[in-house]
Amino acid sequence: MKIAIEAQRIFRAKKHGMDFVALEAIREIQNLDKENQYFIIVSPGDDRCLEETSNMKIIEISSIGGYLGWEQYALPKIIKKIKPDILHCTSNTAPIFCKTNLILTLHDIIFLEKQANKNKSLYQKLGRIYRRLVVPRIITKAKKIITVSKFERNNIKNLLNVDDDSILFIHNGFNKHFEVKDNPKEVYKKYIDTDNYLFFLGNTDPKKNSERTIVAYANYIKNTDQNNIYKLLIADLREEFIDNILKENDIQFIKPYISSPDYIPNKDLPYIYSGAKAFLYTSLRESFGIPILESMACGCPIITSNTSAIPEIAGQGAILIDPYNIKEIQLSIEKVLVDEQFRDKQIRYGLERVNLFSWSNTAKELIKLYNSIQVK
């Protein structure tokens, strides 16, 4: 078969969740499937992280009009030229007018749900509006809908009235470079000036729960002897956003304990996890949560939430807290820092848990799905 896979943003330098999911799955498909012919359709970018093989061709296309113009005009145009048997769109949306057999990866339907707080990012607001307009129009056209967890499958099925036979879940994996690093200091010292730190992946999206987490950290500092305080390394949050949280909650005193380098390259994250005393992943809502696996694979205990798909991925043996409860977040931080026996147990649990997930498993399920599609 001729299979086209939309992977628009995998060549951009600053990749995020859905970009890595598409990239890692494609890499494993490349290793495993030598029979089908693949066309990987991308937007030009600085990070050429994928190379062609005999049965996998990379097609770069540009378009005016940003994401919308690329997906709704440039992508259907190249699909009409390629004439694939299947088009797999990997990032929640797809062309509204395209006659090719469509497989859609719908990571989540957060954009249809009521927000916990108003989004402060214009880019994220526009993305939410775009998905609300496009997804209902393409959901009935898709031959199959893939999502990334059992939780999200049930959520989509119930909210959008999708038939059981039309939707399935395929778990994500994690990159193999996420492992315990023997000498992580040479990397993490670029981002924080101490060996004693916690790590938090923040975001301006309300679901990431940045404000409650930072307030909980402030309460931990208030309750801890000054000589024993662990600093907080925050990725993916600009300093001005953090400063606003500190001002609004009257906790500016914690500023000297926070390091916020904004974006941290993926290649450095295994060292960050390996050096951290604990990883805070206190999100309100996740359809999967790849950082859970990355942290566990690096031997870093994770404090995470008891909501949405997170327990499905982290498992019941993880430190699962109520992300709305600031006191609970604070107490979990204190326990994992003070109780070494408890911390060691969490490390062992995480290293065992991650064996259930891999990109190879993801790719095998995708190939199986492609081969099951009845092509006219």
Residue of 64, 97, 84 whose CA lies nearest to 5? 84
- Under CATH, domain 185-356 is a member of which superfamily? Glycogen Phosphorylase B; (3.40.50.2000)
Distances in Å between the Cα of 236 and the Cα atoms of 54, 104, 184, 215, 343 are 37, 28, 20, 17, 26
R_g (Cα) of the chain, nearest Å: 21
10-residue mean pLDDT profile of the chain (376 residues): values are 97 91 97 97 96 97 90 96 97 94 96 67 80 93 96 94 94 96 96 97 89 98 95 95 96 97 93 98 96 98 98 98 98 97 98 98 98 85
Query: Tokens at residue 201, please?
Result: 């992946």
For the chain, residues classed under CATH 3.40.50.2000 are 2-173+358-372, 185-356
Per-residue pLDDT at 117? 56
Distance between CA atoms of residues 201 and 250, nearest Å: 22
Per-residue pLDDT at 172? 98
Per-residue pLDDT at 203? 84
Fold of the CATH domain 2-173+358-372: Rossmann fold (3.40.50)
Distance between CA atoms of residues 209 and 283, nearest Å: 5
Per-residue pLDDT at 204? 86
Per-residue pLDDT at 192? 97
Query: Tokens at residue 39, please?
Result: 């066309």
Per-residue pLDDT at 118? 59
- The DSSP annotation for 155-188 comes to HHHHHHT--GGGEEE------TT-S--S-THHHH
Per-residue pLDDT at 202? 82
| 3 state SS of 105 | strand
- pTM of the entire predicted model: 0.92
| 3 state SS of 81 | helix
Distances in Å between the Cα of 207 and the Cα atoms of 114, 132, 158, 193, 289 are 11, 17, 21, 29, 12
Burial 73-96 (b: 16+ CB within 10 A, else e): ebbbebbeeeebbbbbbbbbbbbe
Distance between CA atoms of residues 205 and 36, nearest Å: 39
E strand or H helix at 370: helix 359-372
